[in-house]
């Protein structure tokens, strides 16, 4: 596993005790039986990293007391872009029981990998600087959600699989305006009991169709 994967961070005794309390309350509410409670408590107290806790709590309602790992993200790497604006490059976005937003002016290479496990990620490419004509976004959502946002001038190809979930392009919020030189974003991967959505929106600061209608344009 990558050293940046928060699911592989070590947990504390306090984390184990919080999970044990949640499990005991679930048993008291009749969500799990006593035999399951014993098995899950044994697993909780033997857990070493946050990922060990996911299988024993995934089928229980969300609880704010469940331990949430810190979200160490790759440090942005300063890059030079054609128009001289400074930009940062993020090769990955990882959200485990948390959230990650990529937006504004940032540089995207030939590929970007996003992994959401019981968390949410927004990859806003409207102001992104592409280093190649075609960019592949590898999106994997497991009990989580990933939104990919593009502007009117970006061609989008959605090529993923939804497994008891959705992997799709939503309705455009702004009319597409693509041509032969338009950058291509290909979104691949899968959504397992989660969702990966691609949405076309107006550039930040520009009014969308509804706003223009309200303004009388």
**What are the structural domain ranges in the chain?**
6-57, 77-209
Lowest mean pLDDT among 24-38, 107-121, 148-162, 182-196: 24-38
Answer whether residue 156 shows pLDDT above 90: yes
pLDDT digits (tens, 9 = 90+) for 198-215: 999 998 876 655 445 444
Which residue is listed with tokens 């959200």?
95
Assess contact for 44 and 36: CB atoms under 8 A: no
Assess contact for 145 and 198: CB atoms under 8 A: no
Answer whether residue 77 shows pLDDT above 60: no
Q: Alpha-carbon dihedral of residues 126, 129, 133, 138, nearest 10 degrees?
A: -70
Assess contact for 11 and 50: CB atoms under 8 A: yes
pTM: 0.59
Lowest mean pLDDT among 65-74, 140-149, 170-179: 65-74
pLDDT digits (tens, 9 = 90+) for 7-25: 677 878 888 888 888 888 8
Q: What are the residues facing 94 on neighbouring strands?
A: 115
């Amino acid at each position: 596993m990558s050293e940046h994967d928060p699911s592989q961070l070590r947990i504390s005794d306090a984390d184990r005790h919080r999970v044990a309390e949640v499990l005991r309350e679930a048993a008291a509410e009749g969500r799990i039986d006593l035999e399951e409670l014993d098995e899950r408590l044994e697993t909780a107290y033997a857990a070493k990293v946050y990922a060990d806790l996911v299988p024993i709590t995934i089928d229980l309602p969300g609880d704010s007391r469940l331990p949430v790992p810190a979200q160490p993200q790759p440090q942005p790497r300063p890059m030079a872009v054609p128009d001289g604006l400074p930009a940062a490059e993020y090769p990955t976005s990882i959200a485990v029981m948390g959230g990650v937003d990529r937006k504004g002016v940032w540089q995207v290479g030939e590929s970007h990998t996003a992994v959401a496990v019981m968390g949410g990620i927004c990859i806003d490419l409207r102001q992104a600087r592409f280093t190649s004509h075609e960019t592949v976004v590898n999106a994997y959502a497991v009990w989580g959600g990933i939104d990919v946002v593009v502007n009117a001038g970006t061609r989008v190809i959605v090529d993923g699989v939804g497994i008891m979930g959705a992997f799709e392009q939503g309705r455009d919020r702004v009319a597409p305006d693509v041509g032969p030189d338009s950058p291509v974003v290909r979104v691949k991967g899968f959504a397992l009991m989660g969702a990966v959505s691609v949405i076309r929106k107006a550039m930040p600061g520009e009014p969308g169709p509804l706003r223009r209608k309200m303004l009388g344009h």
